[in-house]
Amino acid sequence: MANFTRRNFMSFAAGGTMMLAAGEVMAHDSKTQAIPFQADFPGPHDPIREQENRDIVDPPSTDSGTLPNLCYSFSDAHIRRGSGGWTRQVTNRELGAAKTIAGVDMRLNAGGIRELHWHKEGEWAFVTYGHARVTAFDTKGGWFIDDISVGDLWYFPPGIPHSIQGIGDDGCEFLLAFDDGGFDEDSTFLLSDWFKHIPPEVLAKNFNVPVSTFSHLPSPESEYMFAGKVPGDITSVAPQKGKKSLLNFTHHMMDQTPITSAGGSVRITDSSNFPISKTIAAALVEIAPGGMRELHWHPNNDEWQYYLSGQGRMGVFASSGQARTFDFRAGDVGYVPFAMGHYVENTGDTPLRFLELFKSDYYADISLNQWLASTPSELVQQHLHLDDNFMNALSTHKNPVVK
């Protein structure tokens, strides 16, 4: 979950530099420099957890109100294991505020197969490690197969059957996002599950084979994510029957030219450059040390975040005097309800990388800086009582990441 492990935490504390057992944690000042903060916890408490969530233990003075929790770690999620890999999920059962999107972190060993299946929800994915092979079948009777690697995406619309397999020397890991916060990975329509719940004589009639053909079907529990053989070259295993789909279910996000600035970069993928992705739009954000995803909000839907590397903090403004700050590391999920103003700041010394996901066919945001720069200056000054230096610093050019 974090580079700050239990082992180095204890050795650091034992050296007397950080008396966490007595309640001291390292907080942030306005420049995000670590400074000591004496937390008054004479009773039972978890100093390691407090160190990882500094802005909850010692929130900025600007935090106020009862905004619900907007952070949850995949490290706290239950893992389901199969012979072919493992999976864990963060839905609105784990993160109550997350109503629009649910996430699944899945690992497939080399040859491991996520069995042929389909969902009621649209499935979007981002490969975080290794190599995978995906297959799909469209409503026109066309088949699809592709090999993908780190930084690549796929999207399968609701009801489209598909499969995923780990390939290469060590398989793959990937984030799945579904366009319903109440999604449950256990509610998937599995091929093996359906076969087990169809009378054998019906199967025989449908496929024009003897009833005895179906006397040794596997159990759905063993097939959900099972060990398989690493497949051959994609050209040698492509279906020999039927026709190839005219649809493209995969996308190479890292091949996009990013929006860059001194503070970092942003890559945006939605239906404008990945046409099949009709229910999820995404941005891959990289923030340099000392940089910040500028003050902004989104006018089209809630934002679901997945943190890939680095560490940062997010401040969220919920209106009515409510605001709260959260800390994030790799493997964490963040959430920003519809239209709430927020920023994400890199608080570490390495790049902070995370995904922004939206239940929408397009990506949109409103820059606070750009909005104020595009509003009559006298009107802005009367609102905020700020001087000409502030007005002159405003820019009509959007810079998603600043430093």
Q: Which of 149, 381, 115, 353 is nearest to 228 (CA)?
A: 115
Quick check: helix, strand or coil at residue 350? coil
- Same structural domain, 224 and 268: no
Cβ atoms of 106 and 165 closer than 8 Å: no
- Same structural domain, 262 and 225: no
- Same structural domain, 135 and 167: yes
Domain termination residue (choose one: 251, 267, 287): 251
* Helices and strands, counts by H and E, the chain: 10, 27
Name the phi and psi angles at 333, rounded to 5: -110, 135
User: What are the strands, taking DSSP E only, across 179-301?
Assistant: 189-190, 225-226, 243-244, 250-252, 259-261, 264-269, 281-287, 292-297
Cβ atoms of 213 and 71 closer than 8 Å: no
Asked whether residue 60 is assigned to any structural domain, the reply reads no
Question: How confident is the model at residue 379, as a pLDDT?
Answer: 97
Domain termination residue (choose one: 234, 251, 268): 251
Distance CA 146, CA 164 (A): 10
- Same structural domain, 246 and 263: no
Burial class (CB in 10 A: 0-12, 13-18, 19+), 81: exposed
Active-site choice (94, 294, 345, 356): 356
Tokens standing for residue 376: 């009559």
- Same structural domain, 202 and 267: no
Q: At 125, which CATH number?
A: 2.60.120.10
- Same structural domain, 89 and 233: yes
How does DSSP assign 351-370, residue by residue?
A: -EEEEEEESSSS---EEHHH
- Same structural domain, 149 and 185: yes
- Same structural domain, 116 and 26: no
Domain termination residue (choose one: 229, 251, 273): 251
Q: Mind listing the pLDDT tens digit for each residue in 2-22?
A: 443 333 433 333 333 333 444
- Same structural domain, 262 and 380: yes
Quick check: helix, strand or coil at residue 291? coil
**Statement: the pTM of the whole predicted model exceeds 0.85:** yes
Q: How open is the CA angle 357-168-246, to the nearest 5 degrees? A: 55
Name the phi and psi angles at 270, rounded to 5: -145, -165
Asked whether residue 64 is assigned to any structural domain, the reply reads no
Asked whether residue 351 is assigned to any structural domain, the reply reads yes
Q: Which residues of the chain are modeled with pLDDT < 50?
A: 1-23, 27, 29-32
Cβ atoms of 334 and 70 closer than 8 Å: yes
Domain range for 305 is: 256-402
- Is 52 tagged catalytic? no
Q: Which of 17, 15, 14 is nearest to 34 (CA)?
A: 17
Distance CA 6, CA 3 (A): 9
Name the phi and psi angles at 32, rounded to 5: 65, 20
- Which residues are CB-neighbours of 363 under 8 A, at least 6 positions away? 268, 269, 270, 281, 282, 283, 300
Asked whether residue 391 is assigned to any structural domain, the reply reads yes
- Position 172, amino acid: C
